Chain A
């Protein structure tokens, strides 16, 4: 069920980003931030008590004014402080409903955006690690492990089996872009992991494939989850993290996305007459 939801969100994002595959990631991030800001404004407007919000904000302003005007009147000061706290609590309460409504879509969207902005594709000549995590039932010392690498990918080392971590890891080298998935055989069971293709300025990079599990699927929506009876709980490629370049600084995409969305949201709230 969650996989279908993730696929649907993923398809929407993919369509939105289609014109940006050869452009700077900043363009795609600006557009998705704008759409997010619009969506959030509309959802907020529909799901929040706009009249109540307006009233409580007026109450907060009035209390602040009282505190300033009646500085010598201790009793009035105390009363205003009390009013201010109460009004703030009411304000938070009015925000709770839209927050709850927006939580899931935003989470789904963030997980998708991480696929586009979180990592950069490995370039030909570069190496990276493939790590698989086993379920507890697997005897890691005796497990029969085999790796089928597609053409263009070289397996440089035998697996390092780490019993404490329930992990096996290989070092792989990308010789040229690959189009077929990697096959990991565990005691005869075959599991696939896609090798993300780079070459474009904006690429969708799925580094982790997880076993069916609600929380894990929410976090890693890039690939169809491994079956629930899988011997592996997770397959991971250690691709390099990506930073967005801005005036010589490397910004994490989440920070950039948050700032852009907030700025755009605040800028557009008057236009859409949304009380925040």
Chain B
């Protein structure tokens, strides 16, 4: 069965359907009866934690020295400013899970953005899984689910706010990554990174144009181009929605819309369902509701942004990924469930997708830098308004508030502060070379707001999960394994044409790479067609680690992989057996290539990264630590993420449970 599956030419789209298609069935899952926040005591102490994803020590220090960040300066002077050790690997879902659970990946079971199914060798999302309804009734073309589907948060271990709950200490956790769907708790939580769009993707935009254009529908996201015709100043198209679990074959739902263009002026009216609005060229619409109907009595609601990029000579309309409507969430977003509705009532629609800024649209030149930054500004303004609201309501216990802007802008704009980056462009650098600096200044304003709103007794912590470095060159791990005889392909197709291990000869393959930092052995008894005997595992791992650490880039002479970590050496906990066998700690400027993580074998072993996604954080964690600032002195010289967790618990006088490996930082 497994073999047959791999032999079939599994297209990228089919694969996505395989992985994501089940999500639609979940839209009808009966709402989980989250407990209401009750019986919470007032604590004398208040702790505010601002989580700024990817805030980098080196850049922060640089901007501090330039006097650009007065409020960071103030906070640093009042207590602590030091690097914060990140996770292995320093990817956001892993690092934030370390913080959430106070333990290492062996304890929380998130090892990478992407894991693999040992039965099929195919990549799967690490953070959550979607299960369709177990029982269905088929009536002709209709399929009636007899039970709800399920979405599971795959992170294991207790979240620190669940521990606080046991001590009746209230907490509000706003958009922390690695918490989708939000774990059951009486605390107020809103899910962050990992929250999908309404289609079940991590963000799939739609682009309508009469110009020839291709974009990548990548793993779990990207975009779709819709070829349209302008006839009589009118465009007719459709917005794809979630798959319909009520119809045989789960076809995609859609909403038809029309665009009426003025014969002369660069302005158009867009109409669908009961919505009508006018956009000028180069104007954003603001949030618009959209409803996808399954059958007359069942539908789901989403929200999206329209951007009229160009009216003529070419027609270009961007529609953002359809976010789950927080006023009427089709998928779980918060605990209690009413928290999401309360926020929607107060603020109207807002970004609910995990990473809100549409980096894929910028990557594919659907949005240019300026347009992307306009969207990013919307994200920031929304976050600031909500931070202010939460600070106003912050009476007791803990408030954690997350910002994604730092991560997103560094991913997309590192190329414009790094002259040696293959995508460096002097002209663009002159215009957008200060984007990262401006994002740090935005964070300074967020900190200013927080410092103004809290009293002197409140413990204020600013932390990041990891730092950043340039991503100049990409390493093709599977190509390296192939060339060194650890991976074997069946003859027929050229290696560079293969994806998802379609032609791998598993009976002769000893190792494979899936994910962004992960290498797995084809282990007998664990993998479906494993050949490496358990007794051969240890020497093979040592051999691979040694050889990988010797790989050098012929272009620069630098080592590509600074450290190949054996998971058995660096992880501990109940889920160690699920870990990849080796975690690659890349050198500065290096990362896994774009194609290798999904089972491809590009021709070049190391290749330039010419893309706008130009900064990253997949190195050895010591190279890119996160940041810890607080208005309290730190006890530890070199704290790690887990130590902050322990520190928060100890501030509230909570005894550190044995499953937390961190030591109190405060």
Contacts and interface: CB of A to CB of B under 8 A. Distances in A.
A148 B147 CA distance: 58
Pick from B262, B276, B277, B280 the residue with the most CB of A within 10 Å: B262
A200 to B, nearest CB: 22
Interface residues of B, number: 16
A156 B283 CA distance: 11
A159 interface: yes
A169 B269 contact: yes
A93 B215 CA distance: 67
A164 interface: yes
B508 interface: no
A158 B267 contact: yes
A170 B263 contact: no
B262 A129 contact: no
B276 A160 contact: no
A144 interface: no
Contacts of A141: 263
A163 B278 contact: no
Nearest to A162: B260
B280 A157 contact: yes
A103 interface: no
Interface in B186-240: 232-234
A160 B269 contact: yes
B183 interface: no
Interface string A189-214: 00000000000000000000000000
A120 B268 CA distance: 26
A160 B265 contact: yes
A238 interface: yes
Contacts, number: 45
Given A160-B269, A169-B276, 7 more contacts: A129-B278, A156-B280, A160-B262, A160-B268, A162-B234, A164-B232, A169-B278
Contacts of A169: 269, 276, 278
Interface residues of A, number: 16
Interface of B: 232-234, 260-263, 265, 267-269, 276-280
B232 A157 contact: no
A243 B276 CA distance: 19
B263 A171 contact: no
Contact of A171 (B232, B261, B265, B277): B277
Given A129-B277, A169-B278, A160 B261 contact: yes
Chain B, interface SS category = strand
A171 B262 contact: no
Pick from A159, A161, A164, A170 the residue with the most CB of B within 10 Å: A161
B262 A164 contact: no
Nearest to A168: B262
Contact of A157 (B234, B260, B278): B278
Contacts of B232: 163-164
B276 A129 contact: yes
Contacts of A161: 262-263
A165 interface: yes
Nearest to B259: A160
Nearest to A172: B278
Contacts of A170: 278
B268 to A, nearest CB: 6
A169 B269 CA distance: 8
B277 to A, nearest CB: 7
A160 B234 contact: no
Interface in A123-165: 129, 141, 156-165
Contact of A165 (B260, B265, B268, B277): B260
A251 B412 CA distance: 46
22 contacts: A156-B278, A156-B280, A157-B267, A157-B279, A158-B262, A158-B265, A158-B267, A159-B267, A160-B265, A160-B268, A160-B269, A161-B263, A162-B234, A162-B269, A163-B232, A163-B233, A164-B232, A164-B234, A164-B260, A169-B276, A169-B278, A171-B278
A160 B277 contact: no
B344 to A, nearest CB: 13
Nearest to A158: B265
A72 to B, nearest CB: 40
